Structure 1
Amino acid sequence: MGPGDGQSWAHVDIGTEQAESRGPSPTGPPAGGRKRPRTVRAALTAVPILAAFAAGTVFGGDWTWGGFAASMVLVAVLLLHGGRPAGGTAVQAAGRDNRTTTTRISNVRVNTGGATGVLGVALIVLIDGLLVAHVSTSVPGGLYYSPAGSSTTSPTFLRDLDEDKIRAVGSGLVEKTGMQIGGRQCARSVTQQPAPVGLARTITVTRDEGFQRFKARAGIADDLPSDTTVEFAVTGDDREVARRTATPRSPVDFDVDVSAYTVLELRSTVIASKISGVYAVWGDAQLLPARGAPVGCVTGES
């Protein structure tokens, strides 16, 4: 039978199985297994995006970098989602006898170009990881950022800062001192002239880039009356970072992240005392880079 005898026909040039039936062939989901529930698919999509956001925020030191990392992973997820294997495709050809031949293509099709799509996803994830690594080490605020030429281990004691970096607020001066606090000799400490009960003394410190932690052993002389109480507080750019209360032979330790602040304030207030002239001391107070190792009485050294 040839094309000239009036028959309407079509030729499908594939080697797949054929099924004949009268009337239109019902359509349905392609074979190949049950689909995952939408909630499961949403969770599998959200997990890598949230992980990227957390990594970018922690290592980049800013939620902006977290959002950028998450958006990169989102693009990768969408690209990978578009490149998943496609289901069967039905091709129909109608003959003169009104019989319908349905041919189902069961081979796999990758919508985004197969290997090209997978390679694109891999490159996006690689670039995202390299960018986060760069930000964490080379951009101010990054978790491991340290400016070129600065020490990566040595702390800087507040008493050794230039005068334009440390000053007393109100009356009095920042005094360099040494004192035994809690049984340890803190030889490189700072303090101010004593203040009346309830009146705070404040020292301001301008933090240089690269210093990310503040550490000190704060307290008062061990030989003061036991009912003497002093409150110590650290604020950064007018926001309180930490607060502690010390008594004789019971100092308090500060080890706080100050990387987000430019100006630090060290505030001490005598809460209770039966004597005057109580010196509130920031024992061996020091600024450290991210991987810096503290020294002095804050580590148990004399």
Structure 2
Amino acid sequence: MTSELKTALGYECWVAEGPVLLDYADHVATLTLNRPESSNGMNIAMMRAIHEAVMRCHGDPRVRVVHVRGAGANFCAGGDVREFASKGEALGDFLRTVTAYLQMAVGGLIRLNATVVSEVQGYAAGGGGLGLVCASDLVVAAKSARFMAGATRVGMAPDGGASVILPHLVGFRRAAEIVLTNRVLGAEEAQAIGLINSIVPDDGLAGETRKLVGRLAANAPRASAAAKRLLWSGIGLSVESCLPEEARTVAELSSTADAREGLAAVLEKRTPNFTGA
């Protein structure tokens, strides 16, 4: 949908260009990850833009639902591997800043009065993709959607709050398997273990998500906000207290030779040779 058509239909275009788009209409803010050429891989500009978009939603009491989606074939394939690999031995310092923005965005989504609904197609991977899924209140996925943790395969640790939220959603044993094996989960399994709420046909994803978002936007806003706060109270407190340690661990591991080897292996499409260095 073009910006002109959105305006004609009554949308307020809050952010019209860049790595994140943000529109508002009828109590719904639609946050679109907008780097489809890189499978919405998160670089520092996107992470900063997500945080700014979440803060914009925080600041407008009209917003009752935040609808998170990804442009193109994938919801979010995780961090931007090319940008990370380009930092070489400075990766650790770089990721301290990157992780800070991602964690602020995740914390903001959890604390929003608005209900957060993610619409997932293609891959949701890494701290970006899987992290956003974990931080959402409700998740609708296309039948062909795929989910993967991905961090340890490049010598890093889970981030985006996933290390805390994922075990609450699916249980410790399943979370450990997902994180340590990095196997890909299909939509049916993701629903069965409690990672997502519903599955719809690929060609009906946008329409079905909009229907859900519309129903949620019609709810009593103060009651919905209070219910969300109560539901997140235990998990949210754990996330807030654990985010600093998660960030420290990610930055520490990203300074290792194994992390640089893992990123290089992804780019070169080969098996990494980890040495523990």
Q: Shorter-chain-normalised TM-score: which range?
A: under 0.3
Provide the TM-score with structure 1 as the length reference. 0.19
Larger Rg: 1
Bigger share in helix: 2
Provide the TM-score with structure 2 as the length reference. 0.20
